[in-house]
Amino acid sequence: MNRKRSKTLNQQYKVAEQLLPWNAKDAVLNAEPHAQKLDGSHFFYGLEKRTEDGSVYTEWERVSTDDGVEEPLFDHEDLCSKLGKERLTFRTCKVKDGVLSFTQDRKSYCYDLSSGELSENKQKDNGTVSPDRSKEVFLRRNNLWLRKKDTGEEIQLTKDGRKNDTYGIFPQCIGYITAIRSKMPIFPDVLWSPDSRYFLAYRLNQRKVKDLYLLESFDSADRESIRPVLHSYKCAFPEDEHIPTGYWCLFDTESFTFKMLDIDPQPAGVPLLYSVYKHARWLEDSSAVFITYVSRGNKSASFITVKNDGTVNKVLTETDDTFINICTFGELDGFGDYSASNFLSKDGTSVFWQSERDDLARLFRYDAVSGDLLYPVTPADCRVGELISIDDENEWIYFYANDLSCASDPYYQLVCRVHFDGSCFSVLTPEDGMHRCEIINGMIVDTWSRVDKPPVTNLRKADGTLVRELVSADITDLMARGYIVPERFTVTASDGKTTLYGILIRPADFDPDRKYPFVDYDYGGMQCINVPKSFSWKGALPGREMLSCLETLAQLGIAGITIDGLGTPGREKSLHNISYENIHGCAGLKDHVYCLDELVEKYPFLDRDRIGIWGNSGGGCGSVRAILEYPDVYKVAVASAGNHDQRMYDYMWTETYYGLYNKDIYLKGDNTALAKNLKGKLLIVHGAMDDNVPLSQSIRLVDALIRADKDFDFFILPRCNHYVPTDPYFIQRKTDYFVEHLLGKKPTYRFSKP
């Protein structure tokens, strides 16, 4: 009988190499078509195609929102000819007033869709531009200035700004040095009104906030010196009295005046007006702006309305004994959505407020003048997530909801709508999976998928009626590279009753009669779920491995799992509360251990004697915690950029879950106290230029391990910031570490570099 010859280790590495992010970046086509409004009866999107030689290009399509008929957005041959290109390769563009704006080969262009005229766009924005693009706000010497785009005239708006007490700047605590070193343009954090007359801003006071430091050891492109450079930035720890604080102000660009608003100073651990957070939004008629205000410690949140004359009304305040969740939460290491799901009705009479007071998040309606609670709007048996769209005219609210009885996984978010009065709740997208959509001209452009189901994009009417399938993702190239479709599983949590959801990736050489080591990919942060719910072929950030390296390891004969334990969001608040004063619980780490019996019973090929774990940031903390707290379970751990002592991390994230500083509680989150427990193999990695989790976190852990006389491995990436998992050298060393210590093989293959 002929038996299939097993691959050598080098051959396995060669297959794994094809799944690395720089090799597989175009392995899936049309998985995320981004629909954009074109006019009152059309939207457009980019249709990705592949040539015979494997290169990818885009054809831009226009779709009618009346009947779904599709046709080319413009004459592609004409534009290609004028660009001197055979095909168009730009993946993003915008259309405004009939003009297509795009970047091709690092040049910015404008293409008139009516006349076919092509011109190079050399105009650059040097500030935060108004919606009508007539003016922009910019920073100069700690103050805000206004520039008229047509004449270039500049008007100084504020005069009392000073160093570390500046209008419109971002808090420095996370990512600041990275932005400075990369020469990223820093535009003011302001929110323009739709009519381009007003903007909301804040003066950020960081004068008494203590400094953190980074030591840059290598020259940059424009500097020649062998003397290291010391960088400093403002970052408050939980024990600190002084934190970055924002003072709200409202500007009128017709009178060139502004007013400091009668609102308590706002703790500012993140940019207060950065669009993704949606902590503030204007009404369409520019008559008022509304703010979701969160107090220090995250136990209190308020809804505040501000009229364009500066009149302030605190409509409501909600408090909690643990922490307030007024935001939705993303997946994949927290790089999802953090949008506040609260809004003010167009007529200014009603506030719709998301609350977990009934355990599952619901929307409640309040009187916007008196602040009186009127009634709950959404049902009690589903969880409200991010708002999608508000139809004020017909009084419909469109939003994502999960924990629905029609879905096989409580984390799946489906598109729903409900009337302002709480009637007519309905699920508009019935497919069993994770949904993301755009609502354009009353039509829903919805993409849905699961980890085991490639994305499909459908076009639906506002009531959910299916018009047609727009496009399906093409995963042919991905599968040809050896991608292994994850399997969904459920296990029981450590409380003995709650169902947990996870995924498994079998080894590429799977043989049911063999035992395989496996790696548990863990995040450990309690602000998000970690198990991907949609089809996953790329990392949470550009350059990260798909499924956090589990696909790569599977090609080498190592299985992979990811589980969401108790203490993560996305379900009942009571389950999330398990993380309160329990950051050291790493979002249900003990559940990972508790469920092993059930997991191995379901998958008997998993070898309990060869378990590895790894993670970055909160996952770096969780991986170290795992191998130190459960030294007889986890035999190998890789921890990158870990926040190993919660006293040394940004105050805002830490205080949310530990509460205001209490030394006895915070000491529980110090991994170094467990250093004496190390038995297995531990690799610690940190970027020297990490301006999120300071390098000192890992250095202090290393010191504790040395004092405990433990063997471990450690290296620093001198040029790397917090995104260690995107570093090719780290990807190689992490892979080799698991192969060597879980498989007992000595790797010699070296991946190609991007």
**pLDDT 10s digits, 547-566:** 999 999 999 999 999 999 99
Could you count the other beta carbons within 10 Å of the beta carbon of residue 139?
A: 19
User: Within the chain, how many helices (H) and strands (E) appear?
Assistant: 13, 44
- Secondary structure element (H or E) that encloses residue 212, with its range: strand 211-216
pLDDT at 701: 98
pLDDT at 677: 98
pLDDT digits (tens, 9 = 90+) for 399-430: 999 999 999 999 999 999 999 999 999 999 99
pLDDT at 219: 80
The mean per-residue pLDDT over the stretch 439-443 comes to 96
Nearest to 653 by CA among 242, 339, 269: 269
Q: Please tell me the distance from the alpha carbon of residue 286 to that of residue 288, in angstroms, as a whole number.
A: 6
Could you count the other beta carbons within 10 Å of the beta carbon of residue 628?
A: 26
The mean per-residue pLDDT over the stretch 483-509 comes to 98
**Angstrom distances, CA of residue 309 to CA of 3, 177, 260, 271:** 80, 37, 11, 24
pLDDT at 186: 84
What's the CA angle centered on 642, arms 638 and 648, to 5 degrees? 155
Q: How many CA atoms does the CB half-sphere of 62 hold within 13 Å?
A: 17
pLDDT of residue 398 exceeding 70, the answer is yes
**What letter does residue 124 receive in the DSSP assignment?**
-
- Angular region, 577: left φ>0, alpha ψ -120 to 50, beta rest: alpha
Percent of the chain at pLDDT > 70 equals: 97
Q: How many CA atoms does the CB half-sphere of 316 hold within 13 Å?
A: 23
pLDDT of residue 41 exceeding 60, the answer is yes
Q: Please tell me the distance from the alpha carbon of residue 385 to that of residue 400, in angstroms, as a whole number.
A: 5
Question: Residue 332 — pLDDT band, cuts 50, 70, 90?
Answer: very low
DSSP structure string for 309-378: T--EEEEEEEE-SS----B---STTT-S---B--EE-TTSSEEEEEE-TTSS-EEEEEETTT--EEEE-S
Query: Which residue ranges make up each domain of the chain?
Result: 484-743
pLDDT at 270: 78
pLDDT at 181: 87
The mean per-residue pLDDT over the stretch 6-12 comes to 93
Q: Which residue has the tokens 């929110």?
A: 191
Q: Which residue has the tokens 């990490």?
A: 690
Tokens encoding 607: 């070898």
Q: Could you write out the three-class secondary structure of 500-549?
A: EEEEEECCCCCCCCCCEEEEEECCCCCCCCCCCCCCCCCCCCCCCCHHHH
pTM: 0.95
If one looks up domain 484-743 in CATH, what number appears? 3.40.50.1820
Q: Which of 50-54, 220-224, 533-537, 708-712 has the highest mean pLDDT?
A: 708-712
pLDDT digits (tens, 9 = 90+) for 278-328: 789 999 999 999 999 999 999 999 999 999 999 999 999 999 999 988 664
pLDDT digits (tens, 9 = 90+) for 580-630: 999 999 999 999 999 999 999 999 999 999 999 999 999 999 999 999 999
pLDDT at 139: 95
Nearest to 645 by CA among 709, 583, 587, 581: 583
pLDDT at 341: 84
Question: Residue 1 — pLDDT band, cuts 50, 70, 90?
Answer: very low
The mean per-residue pLDDT over the stretch 705-714 comes to 98
The mean per-residue pLDDT over the stretch 138-151 comes to 95
Q: Which residues pair with 453 in a beta bridge?
A: 450
pLDDT of residue 340 exceeding 80, the answer is no
Percent of the chain at pLDDT > 90 equals: 88
Q: Please tell me the distance from the alpha carbon of residue 412 to that of residue 382, in angstroms, as a whole number.
A: 11
pLDDT at 518: 98
pLDDT of residue 754 exceeding 60, the answer is yes
Question: Residue 541 — pLDDT band, cuts 50, 70, 90?
Answer: confident
What integer best gives the mean pLDDT of the chain?
94
Task: Determine which of 323-332, 441-450, 596-605, 724-733 has the lowest per-residue pLDDT on average.
Answer: 323-332
pLDDT of residue 220 exceeding 80, the answer is no
Task: Determine which of 154-158, 170-174, 270-274, 543-547 has the lowest per-residue pLDDT on average.
Answer: 270-274
Q: Which of 226-230, 357-361, 535-539, 639-643 has the highest mean pLDDT?
A: 639-643
pLDDT at 334: 39
